Amino acid sequence: MKNPVIEVDDVWVRLGGQTVLEGVSLTIDPDDFYAIIGPNGGGKTTLLRVILGLLPPCRGEVRILGSTEAAMRKNLGYVPQLRTFDFEYPITVREMVLSGRLGHISRRPRRYDAVDRARAEEALKTMQIAHLADRQIRDLSGGEQQRAIIARALVGDPKVLLLDEPTVYVDAPTEAQFYGTLDRLRARMAIVLVTHDIGVIPEHVTRVACLNRRLYTHDTKEITADMLEATYRCPVDLIAHGVPHRVFSEHSEEE
Ligand SMILES: Nc1ncnc2c1ncn2[C@@H]1O[C@H](COP(=O)(O)OP(=O)(O)OP(=O)(O)O)[C@@H](O)[C@H]1O
């Protein structure tokens, strides 16, 4: 039996007097490519923050590799929404990627060593931006910046890569390339992707869940019309999103 990398167990979160997550439970296995979809404000970023240990739930717990210890979070690589970055900050791509090692350095003073630098070079290569390493991050295109941010999440050698709305600013060909890269990474880590856009679910996902305060799971890679209706609170036309790489199932009455 494979041991889960993340277990979210009956998590409740209240923020500003409202319940944002209600009894959310899910399990991520090491070979999962898990897509979590849901409307704006549905609680996706909040769930990621709880998993990352940035927000304590008022009830329930999160286990990383079977443990609730805070130190286990170093097994998580996080790619926040692009809008949360200040791309005007004067820093090269290499320095930015290297900064992903900081949380993994326990020696004091915290200085990068040869292993940190080697990891950064490897991550730059994995994300195919080694040739951009000496450029200022502000001088990259949106798609290149995104690859740099993912490289930064990879330098810690995570067991799980968590991505929050990663394709918001990229065009369709870049998006396809991006999902190809994620697919290659799956050999090394589980992937959790959250998005409000039901049109971006890539073909390689292993499981899909819908989140709108509650989590609606199906333990398969198919989204049923019932899951979407429960999540979006209105009928959603699956046919309207019928682009070949998508994984929506036909509506099935017995689901
Ligand atoms: N610190 C906070 N105080 C009060 N309410 C908050 C706080 N943080 C988030 N919320 C609320 O919690 C709800 C869920 O927010 P969250 O950012 O998790 O949604 P989301 O699904 O990631 O949305 P989006 O797709 O728009 O990024 C929203 O209604 C938001 O306004």
Lowest mean pLDDT among 66-70, 78-82, 222-226: 222-226
The model's pLDDT over 175-218, given as tens digits with 9 standing for 90+, comes to 778 888 888 898 899 999 998 776 666 677 888 888 989 998 86
Which amino acid residue places its CA nearest to atom 10 of ligand 1? 15
Q: Using alpha carbons, select from 23, 26, 22, 35 the residue that is nearest to residue 7.
A: 26
Contact 142, 170 (CB under 8 A): yes
Domains of the chain with CATH codes: 6-83+159-241 (3.40.50.300)
What does the pLDDT read at residue 39?
Answer: 83
pTM of the model: 0.84
Give me the chain's average pLDDT, please. 84
CB of residue 55 inside a 6 A radius of ligand 1: no
pLDDT tens per residue, range 2-22: 799 999 999 999 999 999 999
- Choose the residue to mutate in 36, 46, 58 for probing ligand 1, maximizing ligand atoms within 8 Å of C-beta: 46
Predicted confidence at residue 227, as pLDDT, reads 65
Sheet order of strands, 76-79 included: 76-79, 160-164, 190-195, 33-37, 207-212, 214-217
Alpha helices in the chain (DSSP H): 44-51, 93-98, 114-126, 142-154, 172-185, 225-232
Least confident of 102-106, 118-122, 128-132, 202-206: 202-206
Cα(45) to ligand 1 centroid in Å equals 7
Q: Is 94 in the pocket of ligand 1 (CB under 6 A)?
A: no
Would you say the C-alpha torsion 122, 128, 91, 171 has a positive or negative sign?
A: negative
Query: pLDDT class for 45, splitting at 50, 70, 90?
Result: very high
